[in-house]
């Protein structure tokens, strides 16, 4: 549904905002949380729409994350580790902000491409398996063509607005106060917004040297 690259994974409101944005965009979901299911009357509505369990119990998503790390994220982990070993990144707030400024756009582009690949690649049929086969995006939008059914329930605009209004504002919402400075330094130095990881590294090192960090 979404793969968003952000500035923190320690702020629950960021995850909630991504979740609500996803509901607003797609309208239907297979796994609805209790509040969004409070208006429905089926046997799994309300509190019964959610259950607690360990993440390792969900083997499919755990397998996906393992595959994603091997195919995509391990490269970035190694790259940032290399910057640290070369003493170009020390984990300080200043270095972290520079790193985010130079790399978030590239990382989001990488996630968007991988999301598109996952949603449009063909899942081959497997004997003695109950898993459907076909392209995930097609199976989601027209499940009846793949011997499936739509298990989603509509979330009303009123409920979405209510949750949005009571939800705390993420601590990293909007533009960072340093981004204007970063953009000005980038403009003065004649650097272009990076399109590949190599240019992102070059921009990071150049801007870091200009700032004297």
> In this predicted model, what pLDDT tens digit does every residue of 89-122 receive, in sequence order?
999 988 998 899 999 999 999 999 998 998 998 9
Please give the residue that has the higher pLDDT: either 50 or 210.
210
Tally of domains within the chain: 1
Minimal CA–CA distance to 36: which of 27, 119, 181?
27
Helix/strand/coil (H/E/C) assignment for every residue in 17-41:
HHHHHHHHHHCEECCCCCCCCCCCC
Cα 80 to Cα 37, 103, 182, 199, 200: the distances in Å are: 41, 10, 20, 14, 12
Please check whether residue 87 lies inside any domain of the structure: no
- Token pair for 146: 């793949």
Please check whether residue 73 lies inside any domain of the structure: no
Please check whether residue 42 lies inside any domain of the structure: yes
- Within 10 angstroms of residue 153's Cβ, the number of other Cβ atoms is 18
Please check whether residue 89 lies inside any domain of the structure: no
How far is residue 15's CA from residue 43's CA, in Å, rounded to a whole number? 27
Please give the residue that has the higher pLDDT: either 77 or 94.
77
Please check whether residue 5 lies inside any domain of the structure: yes
Give the domain extent around 51: 1-57+155-174
Please check whether residue 2 lies inside any domain of the structure: yes
Please check whether residue 109 lies inside any domain of the structure: no
Please give the residue that has the higher pLDDT: either 181 or 139.
139
Please check whether residue 196 lies inside any domain of the structure: no
């Amino acid at each position: 549904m979404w793969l968003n690259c952000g500035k923190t994974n320690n702020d629950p409101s960021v995850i909630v905002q991504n979740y609500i944005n996803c509901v607003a965009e797609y309208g239907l979901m297979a796994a609805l949380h209790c509040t969004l299911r409070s208006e429905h009357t089926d046997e799994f509505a309300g509190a019964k729409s959610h259950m607690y369990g360990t993440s390792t119990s969900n083997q499919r998503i755990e397998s996906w994350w393992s595959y994603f790390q091997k195919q995509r994220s391990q490269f970035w982990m190694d790259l940032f580790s290399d910057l640290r070993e070369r003493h170009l990144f020390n984990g300080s707030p200043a270095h972290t902000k520079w790193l985010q400024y130079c790399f978030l756009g590239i990382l989001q582009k990488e996630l968007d491409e991988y999301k598109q690949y996952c949603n449009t690649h063909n899942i081959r049929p497997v004997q003695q398996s109950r898993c459907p086969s076909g392209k995930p995006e097609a199976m989601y939008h027209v499940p009846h063509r793949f011997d499936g059914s739509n298990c989603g329930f509509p979330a009303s605009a009123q409920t979405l607005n209510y949750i949005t209004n009571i939800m705390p504002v993420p601590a990293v919402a909007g533009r960072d106060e340093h981004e204007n400075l970063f953009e000005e330094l980038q403009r003065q130095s004649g650097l272009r917004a990076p399109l590949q990881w190599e240019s992102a590294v070059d921009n990071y090192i150049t801007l870091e040297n200009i700032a004297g960090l």
